[in-house]
Structure 1
Amino acid sequence: MNLLDQFLWVIFPYLSVVVFVVGHIFRYRYDQFNWTAKSSEFIEKKRLMIGSLLFHIGIIPVIFGHVGGLLIPKSWTEAFGISNHMYHTVALYIGGIFGVITFAGMLILTARRFTMSTIRKLSSASDLIVNALLLFIIFMGMYSTLVTNHVQPEFDYRESISIWFRDLFVFSPDASLMAAVPVSFKIHMISGFLIFALWPFTRLVHVWSVPLNYARRSYILYRKNRGQSVHH
């Protein structure tokens, strides 16, 4: 394997994870005031609602599909009587349906951000990059599933990508496993790790901002005192 393959399939994944973790720690410690997403709902609601709804409906099954496909060994599904043909048929149709829903939602959200001048002015450069990159990642995933798998039906990512990915967790990734992987799958994987590296420095950090202490927060009481509004 050449140096480029070693970098892409051995160094780059770990580098992305390190940047992801260290970047979050750094930003949380020194940039908490910007740990949020600028809302554009007051500018336009209809396309935001439709795009966001479609994206979230689709992305959750897609994530679970990726986790199952990458982390569950082929031998395990076969042990439960799931044939290779059955597995790929379900992955193609179910994954394809939710992939299309996710892509449609992301396309609406991206078009909204790029084509509406008021929202584009509100957006930072990182906002635009994230939207475009997420749309590209989803598109490449759809292309790999619906086109590449049709053109190269003999390719089984569970015999190459999945093994390589699981080996990352035990610090022994084999770059040679990715040699025969179709280009569309490679681009999808690389762009996926790239979004992880960019995550801490973009609006994506707001997904971790779950208001867990909201339920036990004290009420804010307002009452009038000598003609002035006072709150406690």
Structure 2
Amino acid sequence: MDLFLWGILPYVMVAVLVGGTIWRYRYDQFGWTTRSSQLYESRLLRIGSPLFHFGILVVVIGHVAGLVIPKAWTDFFGISDEMYHLAALGLGSIAGFATLVGVGILIYRRRTTGPVFMATTKNDKTMYVVLVAAIVAGLATTVLGVIGPHQELTYRDTVAPWFRSLFVFQPDIAAMSQASLDFQLHTLIGMVLFMLWPFTRLVHAFTAPVHYLFRPYIVYRSRDGRPTTARGIQRGWAPVGTRDRTSDKSAKSVAGGGSTTKKR
């Protein structure tokens, strides 16, 4: 069982994640979307969505740092185990709790808002169940790993070496089999979530509109030709196709003495 769970299943998960993502992009590009429901309800969405997205971003960064950075590196820079676990407890608990509250608000909104609930599919419900389970299991491992009963082996001695060994195709099954049950359960739920990822709305994370943060401003003008913003056009931007037609008409009127003629 250990060979299957920690030596075979991780590569099956990667194959499903990569293959499913490629398949989804090739054959379901129109379905590659979050199916936004902001039109139906926005008050709860404005609260739950930022909490979930910013929380999950910090959680992902924490997982990468904890799993990729070896313990020897933190020891070299003088970071003791107490300092490391205190930072993990503080930052991990805050980010995990924010993520859990955010997804809770989103689920409550989806369940209590009629049009949003009607647009919820069985696929969405399955995704939410696995996602919440992964978040709860992660919070449990963070808290129990610090304030729980003392354990000689932590995830830095078991899960992290096993995770790094997967990239060299020599999975350290013995290390992962010695991990505590809560870490093993969290890891299994995480692998299930990643296998579901390409076939749910979570796939939109692979095409996050990062370029939106760096694109130029769009200049909007009212019908009378005046800018809708009091600041006007800032230096450094070269507006395209925004020539003031009202100014052109005024210039022509002055040049022609203020009179206009029409051809019959």
TM-score range relative to shorter protein = 0.7 to 0.9
Work out which of the residue numbers 180, 185, 193 in structure 1 matches 2:183: 185
Greater relative contact order (Cα < 8 A, sep 6+): 1
How many residues are treated as equivalent by the alignment?
213
Does the CA-based 8 Å contact 1:164-1:175 persist in structure 2?
Answer: yes
- The CA distance in 2 between the partners of 1:84 and 1:12, in whole Å, is 31
Does the CA-based 8 Å contact 2:165-2:171 persist in structure 1?
Answer: yes
Matched, 1:176 2:182: no
Per-residue CA deviations over 1:99-145 (Å, capped at 9, x if unaligned) read 11111111111222234343221011111111221111111100111
2:156 partner SS: helix
Per-residue CA deviations over 1:48-73 (Å, capped at 9, x if unaligned) read 11111111221222111110100000
| Aligned residue type for 1:161 | V
- The CA distance in 2 between the partners of 1:23 and 1:98, in whole Å, is 29
Matched, 1:39 2:36: yes
Higher helix share: 1
| Aligned residue type for 2:127 | V
Does the CA-based 8 Å contact 1:103-1:135 persist in structure 2?
Answer: yes
Q: Cα distance, 1:210 vs. partner? A: 4.3
- The CA distance in 1 between the partners of 2:177 and 2:206, in whole Å, is 36
What residue number does 1:150 align with? 147
What residue number does 2:52 align with? 55
1:157 partner SS: coil
Does the CA-based 8 Å contact 2:6-2:173 persist in structure 1?
Answer: yes
Per-residue CA deviations over 1:155-190 (Å, capped at 9, x if unaligned) read 421011000000000011122212232222111111
What residue number does 2:92 align with? 95
- The CA distance in 2 between the partners of 1:209 and 1:63, in whole Å, is 17
Q: Cα distance, 1:213 vs. partner? A: 8.6
Q: RMSD over aligned Cα, in angstroms?
A: 1.9
- The CA distance in 2 between the partners of 1:213 and 1:186, in whole Å, is 37
Q: Tell me whether 186-195 or 75-84 shows the greater mean CA deviation.
A: 186-195
Q: Tell me whether 51-60 or 206-215 shows the greater mean CA deviation.
A: 206-215
- The CA distance in 1 between the partners of 2:83 and 2:146, in whole Å, is 14
Q: Cα distance, 1:148 vs. partner? A: 4.5
Higher Cα Rg: structure 1 or 2?
2
1:82 partner SS: coil
TM-score by length of 2: 0.75
Does the CA-based 8 Å contact 1:114-1:120 persist in structure 2?
Answer: yes
| Aligned residue type for 2:56 | I
Does the CA-based 8 Å contact 1:35-1:206 persist in structure 2?
Answer: yes
What residue number does 2:193 align with? 195
- The CA distance in 1 between the partners of 2:204 and 2:19, in whole Å, is 16
Matched, 1:30 2:27: yes
What residue number does 1:229 align with? none
Q: Cα distance, 1:151 vs. partner? A: 1.8
Does the CA-based 8 Å contact 1:110-1:132 persist in structure 2?
Answer: no
Q: Cα distance, 1:23 vs. partner? A: 0.8
